């Protein structure tokens, strides 16, 4: 019989800012700490490693360029030596890990959730389907390959990043795939403005988490980052409404009834844990199974196109030299062409 009570952990913290090597070390420390609590799963905030590009909300593109260059240089590749170290920590701790990273592939960065199994393998990655607003100056888009759930053996696990939670179709897709535990990763966006009304951003993360829990009949783990003094110093924003403040973020656990299991943790670094009773999910679905008896597939149709989106849409053969039409009599003047 499958387990019903599962302990999970969520990290409320910030890694060393724009420092991949130090960030990997800190990530592994948090993974091992979570393992010592008996957690089967530990989740991290959006782009925990090597940090969220807060400057996009306060700097012009011109003045943000040096920070972007540093972010690019310190972003992680998947797989890589750094991801192998994180996988080793997951194996040592015996936990599943969902880690928010800035992922580098070629010349593009992606806002990614990386999934590691307790055997140390990099199992899957979810790239944010559509970066929000000025985030598009930093990250590329994901595609249909990024819509999935992972069978951990104790639950079906999925996740989305930040304002993806406002996109109804990705959330519904995860529900139809049988999601039981959902990772909702966010940055400490409520600390990026000194405006006292900035805390209203909490309304988005909490409302969307509670709505998804109710609509998908799933547990939701909310993991938000925080702003450290190091981040404030590096951003160097003049005092005023755009200046970030220390702390921020909220982290906690929402049940399938849309209620917080405990008051969310805020502002200070901590690994928080909860015991999730998966046995209550069938009772939530008994009331209204949005991907089952409470759906209307005769009225609404829905699908996921998992075709990779790539500029190179057709396979190509080898590059072969051909003689240029302007070649001299001696055969010089060679150009290359792709056939």
Q: What is the pTM of this model?
A: 0.91
User: In 3D, which of 119, 215, 216 has the Cα closest to residue 158?
Assistant: 216
Q: What average pLDDT does the structure give for the chain?
A: 91
What phi and psi, each to the nearest 5 degrees, are found at residue 123? -85, -40
Q: Note whether 222 and 254 are within 8 A (CB).
A: yes
**pLDDT for 328 beyond 70:** no
Q: What residues are annotated to the active site?
A: 46
Mutual orientation of helices 202-216 and 168-176 as an angle, nearest 10°? 30
Sort strands 270-277 and 5-12 into parallel, antiparallel or unpaired: antiparallel
Q: Mark out the alpha helices in 256-305 (DSSP H runs).
A: 281-287
Structure confidence at residue 241 (pLDDT): 77
How large is the average pLDDT for residues 56-75?
94
Q: Note whether 268 and 14 are within 8 A (CB).
A: no
User: In 3D, which of 38, 34, 43 has the Cα closest to residue 7?
Assistant: 38
In the chain, the domains with their CATH numbers are 5-287 (3.60.110.10)
Q: Mark out the alpha helices in the chain (DSSP H runs).
A: 20-36, 61-74, 81-93, 168-176, 202-216, 229-235, 281-287
Label residue 327 by pLDDT band (50, 70, 90): very low
CA dist., res. 196 & res. 238, Å (int): 17
The three-class DSSP label of residue 271 is strand
| pLDDT tens digits for range 201-238 | 788 899 999 999 999 999 999 999 999 999 999 999 98
| pLDDT tens digits for range 19-47 | 999 999 999 999 999 999 999 999 999 99
CA dist., res. 118 & res. 88, Å (int): 9
How large is the average pLDDT for residues 117-136?
97
């Amino acid at each position: 019989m499958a387990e019903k009570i599962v302990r999970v952990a969520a990290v409320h913290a910030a890694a060393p800012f724009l420092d991949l090597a130090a960030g990997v070390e800190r990530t592994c420390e948090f993974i091992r700490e979570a393992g010592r609590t008996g957690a089967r799963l530990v989740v991290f905030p959006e782009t925990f490693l090597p940090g969220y590009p807060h400057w996009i909300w306060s700097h012009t593109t011109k003045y943000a360029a040096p920070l972007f260059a540093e972010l690019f240089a310190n972003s992680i590749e998947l797989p890589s030596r750094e991801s192998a170290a994180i996988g080793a920590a997951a194996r040592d701790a015996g936990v599943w890990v969902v880690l928010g990273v800035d992922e580098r592939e070629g010349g593009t960065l992606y806002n990614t959730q990386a999934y590691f199994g307790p055997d140390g393998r990099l199992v899957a990655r979810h790239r944010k389907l559509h970066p929000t607003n000025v985030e598009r100056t930093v990250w590329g888009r994901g595609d249909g390959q990024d819509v999935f759930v992972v069978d951990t053996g104790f639950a079906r696990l999925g996740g989305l990043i930040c304002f993806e939670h406002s996109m109804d179709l990705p959330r519904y897709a995860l529900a139809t795939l049988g999601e039981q535990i959902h990772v909702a990763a966010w940055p400490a966006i409520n600390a990026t403005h000194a405006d006292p009304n900035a805390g209203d951003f909490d309304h988005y993360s909490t409302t969307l988490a509670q709505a998804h829990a109710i609509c998908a009949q799933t547990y939701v783990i909310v993991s938000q980052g925080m702003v450290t003094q190091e981040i404030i110093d590096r951003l160097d924003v003049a005092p005023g409404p755009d200046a970030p403040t220390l702390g921020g973020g909220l982290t906690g656990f929402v049940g399938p009834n849309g209620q917080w299991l405990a008051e969310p943790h805020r502002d200070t670094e901590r690994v928080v844990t909860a015991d999730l009773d998966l046995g209550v999910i069938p009772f939530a679905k008994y009331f209204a199974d949005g991907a089952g008896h409470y759906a209307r597939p005769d009225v609404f149709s829905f699908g996921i196109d998992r075709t990779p989106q790539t500029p190179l849409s057709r396979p190509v053969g080898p590059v072969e030299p051909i003689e240029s039409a302007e070649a001299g009599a001696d055969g010089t003047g060679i150009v290359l062409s792709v056939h």
